[in-house]
Structure 1
């Protein structure tokens, strides 16, 4: 199965979502991060929807860029192929790309890699940051070629 993608909002003019490219990006990240054969749900939402999820599950007010919900607090990657769910706000992502001066596809790769690593049981720290940076370096160039129309 790989990625179960649902887009639950309109595309942002600065980030025209293409389901095909997002699926390809997610598949590449699974491979680069050594998670081939694993499945996860990816929901693309707007700021209002992610703010609701943020408050309901984490007690935080307002939108954020990405949230990850691991299937298990202590993932056993040998027994279960389902990693969990990632919720990504296209509104916050588009704002951040302008703020950080990044290309949308590169920032998307960074957020998804970071979230996937959380699903796989990683916490913030040098190892997670290094793996995230390596994934961005590996995946972003190919994604950029496939999505050359984004701007």
Structure 2
């Protein structure tokens, strides 16, 4: 399921449902997780700030939040991801990166957290190789 908050309007990011569906499928395939599913919500900075405070106790916006499910009755459902379109666009500008590629990076990062990986060299390597597949 893909949801886009009504206040998200980013012409510099691929945030239509069809673009996100393609990016999500390519990202899952690039990470070796074809056949798995997740919920994806693209939100604004105020909405991700609210989630960040509520679930992690951290102030301010962040780029991506992952909420793993781990339900044995639904082994193919990884969980839910929230991505702030505003933060991703801002970071892409600050880092001098293509906004669509940075969105793919954040999506892959979130998916890997759902799959149980933590920050580190393996996550970085998997993310970078999956981005190449997802953004072709």
What is the TM-score with the length of structure 2 in the denominator? Answer: 0.92
Question: 2:60, 2:35 → 1: CA distance?
Answer: 34
2:119 aligns with: 124
Trace 1:96-135 onto structure 2 (pairs within 5 A): 96-135=91-130
Q: Which residue among 24, 34, 52 is the counterpart of 2:32?
A: 34
SS, match of residue 83 in structure 1: strand
Q: Which residue among 55, 58, 82 is the counterpart of 2:56?
A: 58
SS, match of residue 103 in structure 2: helix
SS, match of residue 54 in structure 1: helix
SS, match of residue 59 in structure 2: coil
Question: 2:92, 2:133 → 1: CA distance?
Answer: 19
String of CA shifts for 1:85-106, please: whole Å, max 9, x gaps.
Answer: 0000011011111101111110
Task: Tell me the number of residue pairs that the alignment of Structure 1 and Structure 2 aligns.
Answer: 135
2:133 aligns with: 138
What runs of 5+ residues in structure 1 fail to find an aligned partner? 143-151
Question: 1:101, 1:64 → 2: CA distance?
Answer: 18
What runs of 5+ residues in structure 2 fail to find an aligned partner? none
Question: 1:32, 1:135 → 2: CA distance?
Answer: 4
CA contact (8 A) 2:14 2:20 kept: no
